[in-house]
Amino acid sequence: MTDAPDPLRIAAPALAAAVVAWLTRLRVERRLAARTLEAYDRDARQWLSFLAGHLGGAPDLADHAGLRTADVRAFLARRRADGAGSRTIARQLAALRSFAGYLEREHGLNAAPIRAVQAPRLKPSLPRPLSVVDARRVTEEAGEDAAEPWIAARDAAVAMLLYGAGLRIGEALAITATDVAGDTSVLRVTGKGGKVRLVPLLPAVRASLDDYRHRLPFRPGAGEPLFRGARGGPLSPRIVQRSLARLRGALGLPDTATPHALRHSFATHLLSAGGDLRTIQELLGHASLSTTQLYTAVDADRLIDVHRRAHPLGGEAAVADTAASVRRMNAG
- Answer yes or no: are the C-beta atoms of 184 and 148 closer than 8 Å: no
pLDDT tens, 128-143? 788 888 889 888 888 8
Q: Which long-range contacts (CB under 8 A, 24 or more apart) does 272-279 make?
A: 272/299, 272/301, 272/302
Tell me the residue range of the domain where 200 lies: 132-274
Q: Per the structure, how many domains does the chain have?
A: 3
Domain co-membership, 141 together with 239:
yes
User: Which tops the pLDDT comparison, 300 or 270?
Assistant: 270
Category of 43 on φ-ψ map: left (φ > 0), alpha (ψ -120 to 50) or beta: alpha
Looking at 102, 163, 212, 295, which residue is catalytic?
A: 295
Give the integer Cα–Cα distance in Å for 112 and 282. 36
- The DSSP call for residue 3 is P
Active site residue 91: no
Q: Which residues of 130-141 are buried (b: 16+ CB within 10 A; e: fewer)?
A: beeebbebbbeb
CATH number of the domain within which 225 lies: 1.10.443.10
Domain co-membership, 96 together with 34:
yes
Looking at 197, 260, 302, 308, which residue is catalytic?
A: 260
Using the 3D structure, point to which of 115, 148, 171 is the last residue of a domain. Answer: 115
Burial class (CB in 10 A: 0-12, 13-18, 19+), 172: buried
pLDDT tens, 49-66? 888 888 888 888 888 878
pLDDT tens, 230-268? 889 999 999 999 888 888 888 888 888 888 888 888 888
Active site residue 263: yes
Active site residue 286: yes
Domain co-membership, 265 together with 162:
yes
* C-alpha neighbours within 13 Å on the C-beta side of residue 53: 10
pLDDT tens, 75-108? 889 988 888 888 888 888 888 899 888 888 888 8
Residue 193 domain flag: yes
Active site residue 42: no
Residue 145 domain flag: yes
Give the integer Cα–Cα distance in Å for 148 and 69. 58
Residue 125 domain flag: no
Looking at 79, 228, 263, 307, which residue is catalytic?
A: 263
Domain co-membership, 312 together with 191:
no
Element (H, E) at 199: strand 196-200
Domain co-membership, 220 together with 315:
no
Domain co-membership, 172 together with 269:
yes
* C-alpha neighbours within 13 Å on the C-beta side of residue 231: 3
Using the 3D structure, point to which of 72, 88, 115 is the last residue of a domain. Answer: 115
User: Which tops the pLDDT comparison, 148 or 8?
Assistant: 148
Q: Is the dihedral of CA 193, 196, 197, 199 positive or negative?
A: positive
Give the integer Cα–Cα distance in Å for 192 and 122. 22
Domain co-membership, 161 together with 253:
yes
Residue 202 domain flag: yes
- Answer yes or no: are the C-beta atoms of 129 and 280 closer than 8 Å: no
| Verdict on whether the full-model pTM lies above 0.85 | no
Smallest CA-to-CA distance from 79 within 43, 26, 30 is with 43
Looking at 154, 206, 286, 307, which residue is catalytic?
A: 286
Active site residue 260: yes
Looking at 45, 192, 213, 308, which residue is catalytic?
A: 192
Looking at 64, 79, 154, 168, which residue is catalytic?
A: 168
